[in-house]
Structure 1
Amino acid sequence: MRRLAVAVTAMLLSGAQEVPRADILIRGGTVATGDAAPFTGDVAIRGDRILAIGPRLDLPAARVIEAKGMLVAPGFIDPHTHAEGDLLATDAAARLVPQFLMQGVTTVMIGNDGGGAVDVGATLASAATRPVGVNYGAHVGFGAVRRAVLRDADRAPSPAELARMRSLVADAMCAGARGLSTGLFYAPQSFATIGEVVSVAAEAGRRGGIYDSHIRDESSYSIGLQAAIAEAIEIGRRASTPVNIAHIKALGVDVEGQAGAVIAQVEAAQAASQRVTADQYPWDASGTSLVAALVPRWAQDGGRGAMLARFDDAAAMARMRPEMIENLRRRGGAAKLLVTAGPEGTTGRTLAQIAAAMRSHPVDAAIAVIRRDDPAVASFNQSEADIAAFMVRPWVMTGSDASTGHPRTFGSFARKWRLYVRERRLIDTASFVRASAALAADTLRIEGRGRLVPGHYADIVVLDPRRYRERADYAQPRRLSEGVEWVLVNGRIAVARAKLTGVAAGRALPAKPTGGCA
């Protein structure tokens, strides 16, 4: 197909009259390829591929989409989501994932933050029998691997256990994983030493995978932000794998303003020929759980049951409560933690409001809530200056960290366009499209996607640049974005005239290991 597309383009440029018929012609839009400056032109699609691109394609087509005044771009690629629940669901409507399609996202990654299933092969095979709305790739999660071997224990693995962990990662990479993800901030992953992580990550590196990490500390909980960045870079260097820093940020009052220092660390590694990238969502509130935000890691040793038992242990609480108070200070106080999905009566309320209703200290209120369940929270703890500093770097791609209850799931790409391209003009159209498509394709080794190039898969978004915006907010986080008029996934129309068509044209995208597989 690529040879045909190149030949068609050459024929069009030479003025030849007999050219193949296109299935779809997108005509007269502002075309942003993912690399070059936007231009006014046409895009022709045949089957699941892009047939030709040019300022004016005199090409017969079965269907013409008029795109004058619209931005035509490669379908966006979200490098960091938690969309497993939807993509693997029995519910066909959930598997369409409209929250992504209505932003123009056509490919997502799952298995981030060390989560996801160890059996990556089964995860990728699901799309064959349960059609999905977007393409997806998967990482193998360090947390899932460690839990499979050590459960929730705070201890080092034995040589035999470490070998088992490495074997699980090797198997996952050979089954199509694109890398190893970690969430070293979270128990039980936080119990791992750098040597343990390097040993396991090396199995991904041997097979061409990346090391994608929610770093050990984005704030001042343990080793501190800059030391955690240094650790991620060191893991990549020692494991011989590219590094991607997940949802890069400076989180909390203790590290506000450190974006410049982090940028210098990353770019020093790049200058030393190391491949380091990052993804970022354009919101000032992060998303986590109340346990992760407040409960010390030592108190989570052994899992939820052991943690709850410590709440009833006077000696453990004498140690734990001051640490929880300090963690709350790091987060900016109880008014900065908004429950986005939790037990009845807590969702949509801040921890300060919950504590006031209980007439108790915020930490005591948090423990009372956690006893019922561990709620998802939005934590308002980033400065606009730090967000902007990261966003303009050429190695930072757009991502959502899509998770329950946070508006970033339904609005990250649209918000970035609306706020940082159209209103604040921090970045231009070409930079937005590159950060939202091409850079992720390069980082994750997703071949044939992320750019409008003849021969590439026809994952394409046509959006109204004046209307493209997020509608989701913290009060109504599940509102679909608006302004996307057309979306093609593998050449099939998934969104037409701003409406879902119900077509599930997505595919699983297993990576091809570069070596070390039978």
Structure 2
Amino acid sequence: MPFRFSIAVAFLLACSLFPTALAAENTDQPISADFVLQDGTIVDGTGGEPYQGSVAVRDDKIIAVGKFTPGEVKRTIDCRGLVICPGFIDLHNHSDSTILTPETRDSRCYLTQGCTTLVTGNCGGGPIEVGKYYDELAAQGIGVNVAHLLPQGSLRGEVIGQTRRAPNDTELQKMQSLADTAMQEGAWGMSTGLQYVPGSYADTAELVAIASRIAKQGGFYASHMRDESDELLEAVEETIEIGRQANLPVHVSHFKSSKRRNWGKVRAAAHVIEEARKNGVRVTADQYPYTASSTSIMAMLLSDKEREGGNQATAERLKNPTEAARLRPYVAEALAARDRVMIASSKQQPDWVGMLIREVAAAEKREPIDIAMEILLDASAQGVNFSMDEGDVRYVMMLPWVATASDGSVKIDDGSRPHPRSFGTFPRKIGRYAIQDKVLPLAAAIRSASGLPADILGMTDRGYVRTDQVADLVVFDPVELQDNATYQEPFQPSQGVRWVLVNGKLAIDNGELLETLAGKPLRRDSGGE
């Protein structure tokens, strides 16, 4: 790989010019440690310049950084030519249930990316009994840390059901009480999925009423907004208004502008956010570095107004010829705006998996709308929507208040064709966009995956390479770091991550995945421990 090699050599030569003892202990006393990551290029999560140095770890803490004298050390890892950085924090993850299964609890597809913490409960879906969820994670053992958000959609479903109506006073008070309990049990904030039933049935006032309770206990509000395409600006304004009225930080999940006719609109949305930030509203966002999104095909092609009762109930209604005929024009319009929808999974039509809807139609000599109506009968069918502009993706990743997040989940190959982000997000952002294409500096790319998400969460003991931080650390080879997962081969692991420490224990040793299960649930009420 001569091109990548030359890039990496230039990077390492540049790093060699940086100071060798920034943020160092500068002590003459020998440091005894379990591990010393020796003589690497430290990129510490602050966004500051990389520098040469070493990192000492004892038990689960970083005890020295920079230049120091090693004492008794159980293991020294030679990091010459390698980068030492904080473990990555995935602010937007959907591993709520899969991380509890034996096949995927080790989280290997994230460890091989350098990810050491996943934030679950996103898009308004997931467990609402936060204490019980954390207890289950602790009891069964997990490969990475998990921090959980209270999912507003599941909360509303628990209290009101899947019905499209406003809550009465008793129901609203019940949701507020459950939100109080969730925060007391260690939730870091609340998420919404305002394109998904039943969370989408909440109006702004209802969201403010619950978010205000989150604010009282120091949490934040993360939103999959009502719209990410034609009404993107209005959706951003609503998110900001919730922050103003509830007096809490707000966060835009997977920030983008979808559909070709909206390409470029994300710049106007970013301007709205930056104006709000200037006026004192705490607004941040996250992004996955791909031009395709993924969700249920039902959510792609039918509005929430037509999905009352949930996907399964909607699929049952579509079996009625009269209802199908009524919805057909709406589906056709949605399909026309999304001309490249790939079927990622389908229990009813497994032969269509990995194909665009229009490719299936051509192969079967049918119209795309007919294929779409048929796939909608499979309530669980997932799709990948190629709907974003590469220029927009690059613009968003350069914004200093945008974190990197996958919107994926822990997975193993099951024959489906999911979005490759679960296997490639972090190496793609750092290896491809920062090191290779130089879209943003390496230090900025690493901050977007470590220090920034820690700051957004209010997680004070992780996200940085500094003394007294928990030893969630990554060592990677800048020559080799890259994503390998594609839309047709989405289960290919990333390469280039050499060592990963989770809570001071090795999870990857010289590229080899260990069955350490060193992760733990992170309860906010005890500082992330």
TM-score normalised over the length of structure 2: 0.90
State the Cα distance separating 1:305 from its structure 2 match: 4.8
Q: Does 1:84 align with 2:91?
A: no
| CA–CA distance in structure 2, aligned partners of residues 102 and 42 of structure 1 | 22
**Contact 1:131-1:506 at 8 Å conserved across structures:** yes
Aligned to 2:292: 285
Aligned to 1:22: 33
Mean Cα deviation higher: 58-67 or 411-420: 58-67
**Cα deviation per residue 1:287-330 (whole Å; 9 max; x = unaligned)?**
11110000132221123454234324455444422211111122
The runs of 5 or more residues in structure 2 that have no matched partner are: 1-21, 412-417
| CA–CA distance in structure 1, aligned partners of residues 194 and 84 of structure 2 | 38
3-state SS of the aligned residue for 1:211?
strand
Q: Among 304, 312, 317, which residue is 1:297 paired with?
A: 304
**Cα deviation per residue 1:315-371 (whole Å; 9 max; x = unaligned)?**
54444222111111222x1xx111122232121111112223443322221221221
Aligned to 1:447: 460
Aligned to 1:48: 60
Amino acid at match of 2:107: V
**Cα deviation per residue 1:365-423 (whole Å; 9 max; x = unaligned)?**
12212213431111001101111111111100110001471100000001112221122
**Contact 1:208-1:513 at 8 Å conserved across structures:** no
Q: CA 1:429 to 1:305, structure 2 compared with 1: closer, same or farther past 3 Å?
A: closer
Aligned to 2:377: 371
| CA–CA distance in structure 1, aligned partners of residues 143 and 403 of structure 2 | 22
Aligned to 1:72: 84
Q: Does 1:354 align with 2:352?
A: no
**Contact 2:26-2:68 at 8 Å conserved across structures:** no
| CA–CA distance in structure 2, aligned partners of residues 194 and 363 of structure 1 | 34
**Contact 1:86-1:97 at 8 Å conserved across structures:** no
Aligned to 2:176: 166
Q: Does 1:112 align with 2:92?
A: no
**Contact 1:136-1:506 at 8 Å conserved across structures:** yes
Aligned to 1:38: 50
Aligned to 2:470: 457
Q: Does 1:149 align with 2:159?
A: yes
Aligned to 1:432: 445
Mean Cα deviation higher: 372-381 or 260-269: 372-381
Amino acid at match of 1:368: E
| CA–CA distance in structure 2, aligned partners of residues 503 and 200 of structure 1 | 39
| CA–CA distance in structure 1, aligned partners of residues 316 and 139 of structure 2 | 43
Q: Does 1:62 align with 2:74?
A: yes
Aligned to 1:198: 208
The runs of 5 or more residues in structure 1 that have no matched partner are: 1-8
Amino acid at match of 1:486: W
Q: CA 1:495 to 1:305, structure 2 compared with 1: closer, same or farther past 3 Å?
A: closer
**Contact 1:358-1:365 at 8 Å conserved across structures:** no
3-state SS of the aligned residue for 1:512?
helix
Q: Does 1:243 align with 2:250?
A: yes
Aligned pair count reads 496
| CA–CA distance in structure 1, aligned partners of residues 405 and 133 of structure 2 | 21
Q: CA 1:323 to 1:451, structure 2 compared with 1: closer, same or farther past 3 Å?
A: same
| CA–CA distance in structure 2, aligned partners of residues 198 and 513 of structure 1 | 26
Q: Among 489, 493, 496, which residue is 1:483 paired with?
A: 496
Q: CA 1:356 to 1:38, structure 2 compared with 1: closer, same or farther past 3 Å?
A: same
TM-score normalised over the length of structure 1: 0.92
State the Cα distance separating 1:449 from its structure 2 match: 0.4
State the Cα distance separating 1:94 from its structure 2 match: 1.5
| CA–CA distance in structure 2, aligned partners of residues 379 and 208 of structure 1 | 36
3-state SS of the aligned residue for 1:40?
strand
Q: Does 1:342 align with 2:349?
A: no
**Contact 1:77-1:437 at 8 Å conserved across structures:** yes
Aligned to 1:3: none
**Contact 2:298-2:311 at 8 Å conserved across structures:** no
| CA–CA distance in structure 2, aligned partners of residues 242 and 270 of structure 1 | 10
**Contact 1:12-1:57 at 8 Å conserved across structures:** no
Q: CA 1:354 to 1:339, structure 2 compared with 1: closer, same or farther past 3 Å?
A: same
| CA–CA distance in structure 2, aligned partners of residues 372 and 34 of structure 1 | 44
**Cα deviation per residue 1:205-249 (whole Å; 9 max; x = unaligned)?**
1111110000000012xxx01000111111111111100100100
Amino acid at match of 1:99: C
Amino acid at match of 2:440: I
**Cα deviation per residue 1:469-495 (whole Å; 9 max; x = unaligned)?**
111111111111110000001110010
Identity %: 36
| CA–CA distance in structure 2, aligned partners of residues 112 and 214 of structure 1 | 8
Q: Among 125, 132, 139, which residue is 1:129 paired with?
A: 139
Q: Among 393, 396, 399, which residue is 1:390 paired with?
A: 396
Q: Among 366, 375, 380, which residue is 2:386 paired with?
A: 380
3-state SS of the aligned residue for 2:479?
coil
| CA–CA distance in structure 1, aligned partners of residues 23 and 394 of structure 2 | 42
State the Cα distance separating 1:176 from its structure 2 match: 0.6
State the Cα distance separating 1:15 from its structure 2 match: 2.7
Q: CA 1:31 to 1:317, structure 2 compared with 1: closer, same or farther past 3 Å?
A: same
Q: CA 1:196 to 1:69, structure 2 compared with 1: closer, same or farther past 3 Å?
A: same
Aligned to 1:276: 283
State the Cα distance separating 1:168 from its structure 2 match: 1.4
